[in-house]
Amino acid sequence: MKAVVVHAAQDVRIEDRPAPPEPQPGQVLLRLAAGGICGSDLHYAQHGGFGTVRLKEPMILGHEVSAHVEALGEGVEGLHPGQLVSVSPSRPCRSCQYCLEGLPNHCENMRFYGSAMPFPHIQGAFREYLLADARQCVPADGLTPGEAAMAEPLSVALHATRRAGGMLGKSVLVTGCGPIGLLSILAARRAGADRIVAADLSDFTLALARQLGADEVVNLARDPSGLAPFAAGKGTFGVMYECSGANAALNAGIAAMRPRGIIMQLGLGGDMTIPLGLLTAREIDLRGAFRFHEEFATAVSLMQKRLIDVRPLITHSLPLSRALEAFQVAADRSRAIKAQIVFDQTEEPKQ
pLDDT 10s digits, 222-270: 999 999 999 999 999 999 999 998 888 999 999 999 999 999 999 887 6
Between 10-19, 82-91, 342-351, the lowest mean confidence (pLDDT) is in: 342-351
Q: pLDDT: is 351 or 187 the higher one?
A: 187
pLDDT at 348: 54
Residue 350 pLDDT greater than 80, yes or no: no
Fold of 156-288: Rossmann fold (3.40.50)
Residue 349 pLDDT greater than 60, yes or no: no
Q: State the average pLDDT over residues 209-214.
A: 97
Start and end residues for every CATH 3.90.180.10 domain found in the chain: 2-150+310-342
* HEC sequence for the chain: CEEEEEEECCEEEEEECCCCCCCCCCEEEEEEEEEECCHHHHHHHHHCEECCEECCCCEECCCEEEEEEEEECCCCCCCCCCCEEEECCCCCCCCCHHHHCCCHHHCCCCCCCCECCCCCCECCCCECEEEEEHHHEEECCCCCHHHHCCHHHHHHHHHHHHHHCCCCCCEEEEECCCHHHHHHHHHHHHCCCCEEEEEECCHHHHHHHHHCCCCEEEECCCCCCCCHHHHCCCCCEEEEEECCCCHHHHHHHHHCEEEEEEEEECCCCCCCCCCHHHHHHCCCEEEECCCCCCHHHHHHHHHHCCCCCCHHHEEEEEEHHHHHHHHHHHCCCCCCCEEEEECCCCCCCEC
What percent of the chain lies above the pLDDT cut of 90? 89
Q: State the average pLDDT over residues 161-176.
A: 97
2-150+310-342: what CATH class?
alpha beta
Residue 103 pLDDT greater than 60, yes or no: yes
pLDDT at 321: 95
Start and end residues for every CATH 3.40.50.720 domain found in the chain: 156-288
The whole-chain average pLDDT of the chain stands at 94
Label residue 346 by pLDDT band (50, 70, 90): low
pLDDT at 246: 87
